[in-house]
Structure 1
C-alpha cells in the first residue's frame, strides 16, 4: 500500500533551484462520492476547518492509495512525523483575491543567426570536459581492476557514445550483429572494431572507486558510480533560460536488475526501473531532474509549476506560495484540508461541465471540483474558475462533439502539464537499449538520451530542429 509523503519531504523533492485531464488516472479517490450530510453546499453556509498538516503522512483512504497506480517509496510512521503548526483554512464560496504573479525571469534572448548543428547541440550538455573526464576515469578503472593500460582517448569515447546512440536508432537483438558478416552495419563497424567496443564497454567508468563510501557512512551516495556525469549534465541544463510555466512529473528508466533504487509501478509501461523526478517546460525542454534517492531538486524564482496528485496537498501549495512559487495541480480528496464540495451526484445531475469551488481568504488558495467524464479535484494558488470558457468533448449520447464548460484552472493545467510526458515520449522513441551487467549504465544511457532530446523541438511541425 502506497503512503502519502509529508509536505517537508515533497519540498525536498521539488523546491529551492501531462496531457489532458481525461488522460490522468481518476481512480485515486477523486471519483468517490462524498457523504451528503457533510456537504455544506446544501445549506450555503461558510465554514472553518482546523487541519493538521501532519495528517497527510497517514493513509486515510486505502482504496485511493491502492488505485492511484503511483508507487510511493515506503516510509515509516516514525520517520519525519514531527508535529508541525496546525493549519486553519476558512473555505468560502468566493473568488480568490488577485495576486501579482508576474514572471521575474526576464525575456528570452534572440536566437542565434546560424543554428548549431546536432553535434553542437549535443555538446552543449555532454561537453569536451565531460568526455575527457570519462576517458580519464575509464583508463583509471582499467588499471585498478586488471592492471591494464587501455589508453582510451577522447576521440574513442566520442565514437563509443556515438555507437551507443546509433544502436538506439537502429536496434538489433544483439549488439554483436552490427559487426557480423551476415548483418554488418557499416555506420558502426567502420568506426570501431568489435573487440575495442567490448573493451570500452567493460571498463567505461565515471567515478574513482577509491573514493567510494560505505553504506554506514552518513555521506554515502547510492549514485556514486555515476554522480559526476549526472551533476555535469544538470549543471549544463541549468544554464538554459527557464520558462515561466513548468511541469513536474516522474519518469521511469526501465531496469529489472538488482539495485536498491529500483521502484515498481504496476500502471506504468515500464513497471520496474529507476524513478526520476523531472522539471520541464511545455515544449518538452528539461531544466532539471533528480533520480529519486531522497535528495532535492532546486527551483528559485517567481515560477508557475504544475504537477499531478501524487504528492499534492493544500499545505504544500500554501508553502510554495509563501516562497513565490505558484502552483496548479490535481489533488486527492483526502488531502484537501477539510474542504467540502458538492457531491459527484449533484454535479452529474447539473450536467457535464458543472463545477463547484471554495477559496481560503487568508492563503488565497482555491479548490475546484469539475465534472467531465468523472469528477476531478484541482487546487491552485494563483487562479480559480474565472473566466470560464468551453472545450470540445465527445458525447457518447449525442454521437458527436459538444461544448463543455471549462474553468480557468482546468485550462491552465491542461495547457502546461504535458512537458515531462513529451520529453519522456521523445526519449522512448530511440532509447539506448544495450544489455549491461552494471546497473548504473542504464542511468548513463538515460543521460545520453536526455542530451539528444534537448535539441529544440518545433511544436508546429512536431519535429526536432
Structure 2
C-alpha cells in the first residue's frame, strides 16, 4: 500500500485538532489507496511469488479462503464507518460542552454585574442634634373586655387551650395507639383535661418523681384519686399531635412537624389578644438534655441545654407570637440584608398592625426595615456592623469620667448612643435619644461612696421595656413540674401549656385592672390551683360536702362491730374488743378508727 506524504499545512491542521479536516484527510487517503491499488502490488495477493492464476486455483480448491477474505473486507468497511461516527459524536460533544461553558460563564458574569449594579444604601453619621418624631401610640379600645367580665380562671385558660385543640390531641393519640398496639386507647377530651389539671397541681406540690404521687407514704389524693398510675403513664406514652403515616414529605422538612399543629393553633389564639404598646423580642430556652437535633447549648443561660424559641412578649410578660429555632438556614436560600436574627424579628413583628406606632426592643441592627411600617425600635448594636460611623473610643470616654456619652445621627433619623458606665454600651434607636437625661446611683470603689451618674434617655427606655420575655421565663419557672420523657416534642408541649396558663393569668389581671378591681386579682399560685381543680373535676359528679343525713343506730353498730371482730379475729388470730357501752359520739369514733375496713 502506497504511503501518502502530508504537507506542513496538514500537520498544523492535525495539531489544531479540527475534526472535520481530519476526516477529509482520511477520506482522501482512502481514495488515493483505491486508485493506486493493483492486483500485482498487493502484498497479500503476491506473497510467496504467487500469481493470479495460482490464487484462482487455490480459491477453487478451498472456497473457505474466498469467504474469509470477503469477511475481512466487510469488517474493514464497518470499522471505517464506526470511526467516522465516533469522530462525529466527539465533535458534537465538544461543541455542546463549549456552548454550556460559555453559557455558564455568561451567567456568572451577568450575576456579578448585577451585584455590582445593586448599590447598598450608605448612611452618613454626623454629630448633630436628634429630633424625636411623634410616637404617640394609637391605642384603640379592647372590645373583648366586656365579653370576659364574668370569666372564671378556667374560662381564661380555655381562651388559649380550646376544645378544638384538645380534640386534635384525642384524635391523633387514639390513631397512634391503633398504629402501635393494634387497638385504641379510647382517650376522651375530659381525660386530656384531667391530665392537664394533674400536671398543674404537680407544679404546686412538687415531689422527687411522678410515681411518688401514687406511693403509699407520699400519696397526694388530689392527683392520685383522679386516675391510676398505669393509666396516666399509658396516656403520656401515646400522646401525639400529628399522623406519622399521613404526613407528607414537604411537611417533614419542618423539624418540629410532630407538634406543629398544636403550636400553630396556640399561636393563633395568642394573636387574637389586643397587643400592648411595647414589645420585646428575645430568645426562650425550653430545658431539655435528651437526644434531639434541635437541642442547643447556650452557656450564658440558666438552663444551658434545651430547645431555643424566639418570642415577642409585651411589657407585662404576655407572649403574643413565637417560633421554634430549627438550626442553620438552608444554604441554597438567599441571605437577607439583616441576617438570621434580623429575619426573626421582622417575622415576629409582621403580625403587628402598621401605623399604630408600636415600639420594639431587641438586640440587632435593623431599624430602617421597621421604620417603613411605622414601628419604632430601640436595641443594642455592635459597632462592627455599623459602617461609616466613627465615635469616641472607649478609653477616651473613661478618661472623661463615668457617665460620659457620645452620639451620631444619620440622614434617616436614626441615632447611635455610646454611654460609658463600667464599660461602653452602644444602643441604636429611631424615636428616643440622649434626652431626657436622668441620674442613677453607682458605687465608686476608689472613694468608697455612692455617686450620681448621668444616664441618657435611650438607656432608661431600653432597661424599662426590654424585660418582657425574661419576665415570662421567670413566671414559667415558678410552678412548672418537670416531667421526664424520651419523646422530645412532649417537653415543648408541656412548656406551651405552661405559657398558655401564664398568658391566661396576665389577661385576667389586665381585665380586672381595666374594671378597677386590680386588688381583687389572685396571685399566680391560686390561679393555677383554681384552673387545675376545674380541669380535674371535668366529667365527674360533684359530691355535696357535709355530715350524712342519718347516723347508724346502736344495734346496727354492735352488729357491724361483731362481724368486724369475728373477721379480724379470724384474720389476725387474736380477739379484738367489740364496741361497749359508750356514748354515741365515742362509739362512732371508736368504730371508725378500729373498724374502718368494714365501712
Question: Do the two structures share a fold, i.e. TM-score over 0.5?
Answer: yes
Q: Give the aligned partner of residue 94 of structure 1.
A: 128
Which digits, 9 at most, give the CA deviation of each residue in 1:427-451, with x for residues without a partner? 1112231111111001001111101
Deviation digits for residues 268-296 of structure 1, max 9, x if unmatched?
11111111111111111111111113674
2:155 corresponds to: 120
For residues 292 and 427 of structure 2, what CA distance do their matches in structure 1 show? 36
In 1, distance between residues paired with 2:481 and 2:139? 35
Task: State the 1:397 CA deviation.
Answer: 3.7
**Match 2:276 to one of 243, 247, 256:** 243
Match of 2:452 in 1: 403
Correspondence for 1:229: 262
Matched, 1:176 2:211: yes
Identify the residue that residue 347 of structure 1 maps to in structure 2. Answer: 397
Q: Which of 272, 285, 292 is the equivalent residue of 2:318?
A: 285
Which structure dedicates a bigger proportion of its chain to helix?
2
| Superposition map of 1:380-391 within 5 A | 380-391=429-440
CA offset digits 1:79-98 (Å, max 9, x no partner): xxx88642211111112334
CA RMSD of aligned residues (A): 2.3
Q: Is the 2:408–2:416 Cα contact (8 Å) retained in structure 1? A: yes
The residue number in structure 1 matching 2:378 is 328
Are the equivalent residues in 2 in contact too, given 1:258–1:439 (CA < 8 A)? yes
Q: Is the counterpart of residue 368 in structure 1 residue 393 in structure 2?
A: no
Looking at structure 1, the residues matched to 309 and 253 of structure 2 have their Cα atoms a distance apart, in angstroms, of: 19
Highest Rg: 1 or 2?
2
Aligned residue number for residue 226 of structure 2: 191
Q: Which has the higher strand share?
A: 1
Q: Which protein has greater RCO, CA pairs closer than 8 Å, 6+ apart? A: 1
Answer whether contact 1:141 1:205 (CA < 8 A) is retained. yes
Aligned counterpart, 2:191: 156
The aligned counterpart of 2:351 is 299
Q: 1:105: Cα distance to partner?
A: 4.9
The Cα shift of 1:115 comes to 5.6
In the alignment, what sits opposite 1:140? 175
Contact 1:226 1:444 in 2 (8 A): yes
- Is residue 417 from structure 1 mapped to residue 466 from structure 2 by the alignment? yes
**Preserved CA contact (<8 Å) 2:132 2:433:** no
SS class of match (1:230): helix
How far the C-alpha of 1:463 sits from its partner, in A, is: 4.3
Q: In the aligned structure 2, how far is the partner of 1:151 from the partner of 1:166?
A: 24
In the alignment, the residues of structure 2 paired with residue 173 and residue 432 of structure 1 have an alpha-carbon distance, to the nearest angstrom, of: 10
TM-score, reference length from structure 2: 0.59
1:335-379: per-residue Cα shift (whole Å, max 9, x none)? 122311111122112222110000002x11100000112110000
Alpha-carbon contact 1:253-1:443 (below 8 Å) kept: yes
Q: How big is each residue's C-alpha offset from its partner over 1:88-140, in whole Å with a ceiling of 9 and x where there is no partner?
A: 11111112334233333524458448463221221111112211221111111
Do 1:253 and 1:273's aligned partners in 2 also have CA atoms closer than 8 Å?
A: yes
Residue segments in structure 2 that go unaligned for 5+ positions in a row = 1-114, 330-343, 528-599
C-alpha spacing 1:429/1:85, structure 2 compared with 1 (3 Å): farther
> Could you tell me whether the CA contact under 8 Å between 2:213 and 2:223 is conserved in 1?
yes
Alpha carbons of structure 1 residues 330 and 437: separation in structure 2 relative to 1, 3 Å: same
Cα deviation per residue 1:172-202 (whole Å; 9 max; x = unaligned)?
Answer: 2221111111111111001111111011111
* Cα drift, residue 219 of structure 1: 6.4
SS of 1:209's partner is coil
- Are the counterparts in 1 of residues 251 and 257 from structure 2 also a CA contact under 8 Å? no
Asked whether the equivalents of residues 134 and 204 of structure 1 are also in contact (C-alpha less than 8 Å), the reply is yes
2:369 matched to which residue of 1? 319
Which stretch of the first structure deviates more once superposed, 202-211 or 293-302? 293-302
TM-score scaled by length of structure 1: 0.76
Secondary structure of the equivalent of 1:150?
Answer: coil
CA distance in 2, matches of 1:115, 1:306: 34
Per-residue Cα deviation, 1:11-56 (whole angstroms, up to 9, x for no partner): xxxxxxxxxxxxxxxxxxxxxxxxxxxxxxxxxxxxxxxxxxxxxx
Q: Which range is displaced more, 144-153 or 296-305? A: 296-305
Relative to 1, partners in 2 of residues 1:110 and 1:406: Cα closer, same or farther, differing over 3 Å? farther
In 2, Cα distance between equivalents of 1:170 and 1:254: 20
Distance 1:107 1:415, change over 3 A: farther
SS at match of 1:305: strand
Q: CA deviation at 1:307?
A: 0.9
Equivalent residue of 2:187, what SS? coil
* Contact 1:380 1:409 (C-alpha < 8 Å) held by counterparts: yes
Q: Which residue in 2 is equivalent to 1:209? A: 244
Say whether the 8 Å CA contact 1:213–1:220 is kept in structure 2.
no
Distance in 2 of aligned mates of 1:378 and 1:151: 57
Report the equivalent of 1:35.
none
Structure 1: give runs of 5+ residues left out of the alignment. Answer: 1-81
Residues 119 and 401 of structure 1: is their aligned pair in 2 closer, same or farther, counting only changes over 3 Å?
A: farther
Once the two structures are TM-superposed, the CA of residue 244 in structure 1 deviates from its matched residue by 1.2
Q: Deviations over 1:377-412 (max 9, x none)?
A: 000111211222222333334444432211111111
Are the structure 2 counterparts of residues 123 and 395 from structure 1 closer, same or farther at C-alpha, using a change threshold of 3 Å?
farther
How far apart, CA to CA, are the structure 1 residues paired with 2:223 and 2:144? 38
